[in-house]
Amino acid sequence: MRLLSGLRPRLILAFAAMAIIGAAAAAGASYVSARNAILKSVQDAAMDQLKDRVGAYDRPLSTPPTQDQLNDFAGSLRLNAVAVHGNLRSVNGPDLTRFSTELRRTVAGDIRIQFQRLDRDTGPELQVGLPVLARQPDGSPRASGIEVYSLTSLVQQQQAIDELAKSAWQMAALVLPLAAALALLAARQVLRPVRALNTAAAQLGEGRLDVRLPAKGSDELAELVTTFNNTAAELERTVGELRAMEADARRFVADVSHELRTPLAAMNAVTDVLDEDAEALPPDTAVAARLVSGETRRLTRLVQDLVEISRFDAGRAELVLDEWDLATAIRDSLDARGWREGEDLVTDLPEGVLARVDRRRLDLIVANLVGNAFRHGAAPVEVRLRAGGDGVTLEVEDHGPGIDPEILPHVFDRFTKADTARARSEGSGLGLAIALENARLHGGDITAADTGHGARFVLRLPHRTEGGTR
């Protein structure tokens, strides 16, 4: 069935089938017409000849005739014929048993000449029956009771018909190559623009929005090409506008983020002083100072995340690789944030698992995955490192409420919040997106899953990656 799955073989098959059916129908019609013409010619000739010979007999013929009269009458016909009157028949001519009962019954009950074609063991033959007429006193014809039956062999005509049939089917068979050639030509004419459309559509899907096709003619395919060109042009215009808007938005975010870094640095310096002197301040002022300090730190993290995301968007994220023992690198990341192994944090970090990684970016990945587990999950948080044949995996699993199935497909999208009811949270909503970008920069990936008793994030990295920048 796969051989007929393409449009080309189906078109060829359809054209060939139509041509063969047409040729077979034409050959069949020609055969039937020629056969009828041949048989009618022989049949008319035999009937006319019998009538002429009977009409030309000029010797007296009594009713009922004598045996000698019947013999003389039949002999004068000079045909393969027999004369019959009741149970009396001429001595010459074919046996009456060769004539069908149906023909004899019809001839006996009518005054017109009759015929019948039969197939015998010796071949097909034509049987003709003619009643000899006499005149009534009023001049009208009547049956005299004398009947003449003649036999004509149709073997030669049947051979001619068979040869005709053979020739007709041979001509029909010769049509097949011609039909295939015509089908190939027609399929080529139809499929050429279809293939061009398919190629152009594939190029359009690959991002070549400037692809166009020449519209030739005024048929349906030309209209389809024109529609495709209009669609491609509109798509190019729309995508161009969207890209321009996206570039403007990224540029705006990057510019704003960079502009905020300087005042935020000054604000962080001020809040550090306020944190140190908070104990000496009045209670209300101390609460306000701590609030300002916390919000400043949160804003600083958001700006840092936006700057990092803008680097990825601009394609300027650099990857500085070096070979590290991943267990050591992961422990350093955990220790730097005060996450110690105990009841809340369970680690399984075997030594000797080496990989070429960017230490700073690996630190960001670990910090985001473990921090996300502590913020949105529940203790204990398990961190497991495994080495396999195709790379290494780092699993971070918590025992919290898990991930909502509706949020799971979007958990790595930017600004996705685990609790959509909260307009604000400690995180920026960019942590997991940044972690995924860093993993992909290493040639790896991060997947998320709901375990039924918490959430599990799995980082996969190759054993070795080539250094470079993106």
Q: What is the pLDDT, as a whole number, of residue 421?
A: 39
Locate the domains of the chain by residue range.
7-162, 222-310, 319-462
- Residue 431: Cβ-neighbour burial (10 angstroms; 0-12, 13-18, 19+): buried
Confidence at 332, pLDDT banded by 50, 70, 90: very high
What value does the mean pLDDT take over residues 248-266? 69
d(CA 372, CA 431): 8
Asked whether 326 and 365 are in contact (CB, 8 A), the reply is: no
Q: State residue 80 phi and psi, 5-degree precision.
A: -80, 75
d(CA 364, CA 436): 10
Torsion on CA atoms 169, 175, 177, 183, rounded to nearest 10: -140
d(CA 69, CA 140): 24
Architecture category of domain 222-310 in CATH: Orthogonal Bundle (1.10)
Asked whether 307 and 261 are in contact (CB, 8 A), the reply is: yes
User: CATH fold of 7-162, please?
Assistant: Beta-Lactamase (3.30.450)
Decide if pLDDT at 410 tops 60. Answer: yes
Decide if pLDDT at 417 tops 50. Answer: yes
User: CATH fold of 319-462, please?
Assistant: Heat Shock Protein 90 (3.30.565)
Identify the CA nearest to 317 among candidates 434, 428, 432: 434
- Residues 142-181 have pLDDT tens digits of 888 899 999 998 888 888 888 887 877 777 777 777 777 7
What value does the mean pLDDT take over residues 373-383? 90
> What contacts 199, CB < 8 A, 6 or more positions away?
none
- Residue 373: Cβ-neighbour burial (10 angstroms; 0-12, 13-18, 19+): buried
Asked whether 194 and 179 are in contact (CB, 8 A), the reply is: no
Confidence at 6, pLDDT banded by 50, 70, 90: low
More confident residue, 470 or 420: 420
Decide if pLDDT at 321 tops 50. Answer: yes
Confidence at 466, pLDDT banded by 50, 70, 90: very low
| pTM, two decimal places | 0.48
